[in-house]
Structure formats: structure tokens, C-alpha cells
Amino acid sequence: MSAPILEVMDVHTAYGAIEVLRGVSLKVEEGEIVALIGSNGAGKSTTLLSVSQVVIPRSGEVRFRGESMIGLRPDQVVSRGLVQVPEGRRVFARMSVDENLQLGAYLREDPSAIAADFRRVHDLFPVLKERGGQLAGTLSGGEQQMLAIGRALMSHPTLLMMDEPSMGIAPLLVTRIFGAIRELNREGLTVLLVEQNARGALGLSSRGYVLETGKITTSGSGQELLSDDRIRSAYLGD
């Protein structure tokens, strides 16, 4: 078997004296959607930030396509095809929708391919085409989330990490965004999905991990985790 596209091995990450990740290990195979679920404060966002090197782990290893990411700058991680959609969207509010999308391609030098990705984002989220000249800060929360995803896609990722894409968004737009994730995956994009909407995330994913107080405690297929009584009680409200 080929090596996983992403391997996180025994990663410990701290903020000052507070250790948030205490030996996190997970893997993502090429072409998968993998969910990472857990309660608030479990370390889900810190896991993604550690992978993308926005936060430098104290110890452990992160390998993407066989190459260590440890010590790289975040832009170097992005240039290798490992791209994160941050929690809270973080669009550039005083820039237009089109300008936000263009910023997603700032490391690229392939104009025809950039134009093709621009069209792909517009096909995926038509509202972004309709509002190309509108300031990003005037969009609804769901539209800003679409813009954040579109901006990440303009980096032409191989693996897309998404941090709470359903947070604070109307249910109809959550369905649309999850549908877009499924469509992107069918086209070959690998996805690592952090979500508090555990039911939606596991239903979308081929595999999942449960993170509790900085450690992976359970893993399995999406359906196995959805059927696990403890997971259902703790995270699904059953």
C-alpha cells in the first residue's frame, strides 16, 4: 500500500505552559474525507494549526506526501498543496469577493490554471460570481464561509483542512457547503474536516477520529462512529 498523504505522529503542542495536544496521531489517505470531532477545547483547531505550522509543535512529526512539514513556514506548507480554511472564516472584510479569491492564488504563477480555478469556484458557489465586486464583510455568514472555501481552493490544494465550516451558519447553507465538500471530494480532493456538527461530519466522512483533552481516544469508519453508543451520547445528542 502507498503511504498516507498526511501522517500526524505523536504531536505535542502547547501554548506557554499549557499543553493542548498530548501525543496526537492520525493519518489521512489520498482521496478520503476524514472527520476530527470532539468537544470545545479538545484541541481540534490546534491540531490543524500544528499541521499547517501556524503553531509549531513541541515534539512529534507531521508528514505530507512523505515530506516533513516541521519547521516550514505556513506559506511553504501551502505551496506544497496542504491548505487550511480557518475557523471563523477570516475573510478580508474591506476587500471585494474577487480580491479575496485572487489572494488565494498569491503563490501561483500559472495564469490559465488560476483562471480555470476561478471559474470552478464560481461554478461551485454561484453567489460569489454574482457578488464579485461586493465587499466581503457585507456577505452573510454562510456566504463568507463559501468565500473562505473558495479562497482556499484558489491555492489549488491537494489536501484541504477545514475548521468548523458549519459554525454559525443557517441550516440550508450548511447543507449546501457539505454538498460542496462531497462534490470536491468526488473530483479527487482529499479533506480533513474538523466539525462540532459530528453527525453531519461523520455522515460525510469515510473515517473519523475522536479527540478528547488533547488525545485521540477513538477512531473508525464514519458509520462505525455514528453507531457507537458512547459517541452518540457524547456528541450526537442521542
Q: What is the pLDDT of residues 25-73, one digit of tens each?
A: 999 999 999 999 998 889 999 999 999 999 999 999 999 999 999 999 9
> What is the per-residue pLDDT for 174?
87
Considering the domain boundaries, does residue 179 fall inside one? yes
Residue 238, pLDDT score = 59
Positive or negative torsion for Cα 75, 80, 86, 91: positive
Which grid cell is 70?
A: 516541521
Q: What is the pLDDT of residue 234?
A: 83
Q: Is residue 122 in a domain?
A: no
Least confident piece of the model among 16-25, 65-74, 104-113, 120-129:
104-113
Weakest mean pLDDT among 72-81, 119-128, 160-169, 212-221? 160-169
> What whole-number distance in Å separates Cα of residue 24 and Cα of residue 60?
9
C-alpha cell belonging to residue 36: 476530527
Going by DSSP bridges, is the β-strand pair 18-28/190-194 parallel, antiparallel, or unpaired?
unpaired
Phi, psi angles (nearest 5°) of residue 138 = -95, 0
- Look at residue 110 and tell me if it is in a domain: no
Q: Mean pLDDT across the stretch 173-202?
A: 92
Domain of residue 209, residue span: 6-88+159-235
pLDDT in the model for residue 235: 83
Question: Is residue 125 packed enough to be buried (19+ CB in 10 Å), middle (13-18) or exposed (0-12)?
Answer: buried
| Helices H / strands E in the chain, number of each | 10, 10
At residue 1, does pLDDT exceed 60? no
For the chain, the domain total comes to: 1
Domain annotation covers residue 96: no
Q: Comparing 191 with 109, which gets the higher pLDDT?
A: 191
Q: Is residue 208 part of a domain?
A: yes
pLDDT classification of 126: cutoffs 50, 70, 90:
very high
**Per-residue CA distances from 48 to 26, 125, 173, 236 (Å):** 11, 25, 24, 23
* Least confident stretch, 85-94, 111-120, 216-225: 85-94
| 1 vs 79, residue with greater confidence | 79
Pairing relationship of beta strands 215-221 and 207-212 according to DSSP bridges? antiparallel
Tell me if 30 is assigned to some domain: yes
Q: Which pLDDT belongs to residue 233?
A: 87
Specify the residue for cell string 496542504. Answer: 82
Q: What does the pLDDT average to over 214-232?
A: 93
Task: Give the tens place of pLDDT for each residue, 72-97.
Answer: 999 999 999 999 998 877 888 899 99
- Indicate whether 171 pLDDT > 90: no
pLDDT band at 4 (very low <50, low <70, confident <90, very high): very high
Q: Is residue 237 predicted with pLDDT exceeding 70?
A: no
Tell me whether residue 12 is exposed, middle or buried, using C-beta atoms within 10 angstroms of its C-beta: 0 to 12, 13 to 18, 19 or more.
Answer: middle
Give me the percent of the chain exceeding a pLDDT of 70: 99
Tell me the three cell numbers of residue 127.
453567489
Does residue 165 form part of some domain? yes
Q: How many residues does the chain have?
A: 238
The pLDDT mean for the chain works out to: 92
User: Angle at Cα 115 formed by Cα 110 and Cα 118, nearest 5°?
Assistant: 125
Predicted local distance difference test score (pLDDT) of residue 54: 95
Angle, in degrees to the nearest 10, between helices 141-153 and 171-186: 10
CB 197 within 8 A of CB 38: no
- Collapse the DSSP code of 212 into the 3-class scheme (helix H, G, I; strand E, B; otherwise coil) and give the result: strand
**CATH of residue 38:** 3.40.50.300
Quick check: is 130 in a domain?
A: no
Q: pTM (2 decimals)? A: 0.92
